[in-house]
Amino acid sequence: MIIYSWSYKIAPTIDNAEELDENDYIEIKPGKYTGLHWNDGSIFLDEEPFGMLIQSIMKQYPSFEYSSNNDIDHKTWRKIITEFNRILLILKNKPNIQQINSHIGFGFDDSQTQFAKNLNQNISDMIQLIQSLINWIEKTLENNEFISILGVPTQMFDED
């Protein structure tokens, strides 16, 4: 399991769900949703960086639902990858924050302000995140007809 977190910087990879903090994570899982969350082979993105990817996903998969489970087929993922590559080109040209907002968008009210505070580093981190995500998707599509985006579960951890 790979975790991408965001404090306006990509956090180190975490490979144990017990190490997750109390943030909400979006799970991206090989194959169709099976009724389970926290699957081996999944990657997890903190809501903040995922919010910057939603527009690209929804452009190619308009029925995307943030708090639901979305089984997305191979053909649609190829189109989403094209969108992600378009975003990479924009980011690599060192846009200002208004250009980023018009092409990418921010998922939360204060995201744009926080991102702008360390703009160049955050652009670099976002490029790294998107490229890593593209690489993971392409590799995963070699053996899977679907990749699912599992929305934020209503209860992240079992209470004992």
Say what the pLDDT of residue 14 is. 41
Phi, psi of 132 (to 5 degrees): -65, -40
Using CB atoms within 10 Å of the CB of residue 126, give its burial: 0 to 12 exposed, 13 to 18 middle, 19+ buried.
Answer: buried
What integer best gives the mean pLDDT of the chain?
82
Q: What is the pTM of this model?
A: 0.84
Find, among 154, 137, 139, the residue nearest to 56 by Cα: 137
Q: What is the reported pLDDT for 15? A: 44
For residue 8, what pLDDT is reported? Answer: 42
- If one compares 126 and 16, the residue with the highest pLDDT of the two is 126
Which range (1-10, 47-56, 77-86) has the least confidence? 1-10
Q: Which residue has the tokens 């993922």?
A: 77
Residue 1: which residues within 8 A CB-CB, separation 6 or more?
Answer: 14, 15, 16, 17, 38, 39, 40, 41, 42, 43, 44
If you average pLDDT over residues 51-75, what whole number do you get?
93
The pLDDT, as a whole number, for residue 130 is: 92
Residues paired with residue 28 on neighbouring β-strands, in sequence order: 43, 149
- Going by pLDDT thresholds of 50, 70 and 90, the confidence category of residue 146 is very high
Handedness of CA 21, 25, 31, 35 (dihedral sign): positive
pLDDT tens digits, one per residue of 73-97: 999 999 999 999 999 999 999 999 9
Q: What is the pLDDT of residue 23?
A: 58
Domain ranges within the chain, ordered by starting residue:
2-150
pLDDT of residue 9: 43
The pLDDT of residue 102: 86
pLDDT of 12 reads: 36
Q: What is the pLDDT of residue 40?
A: 81
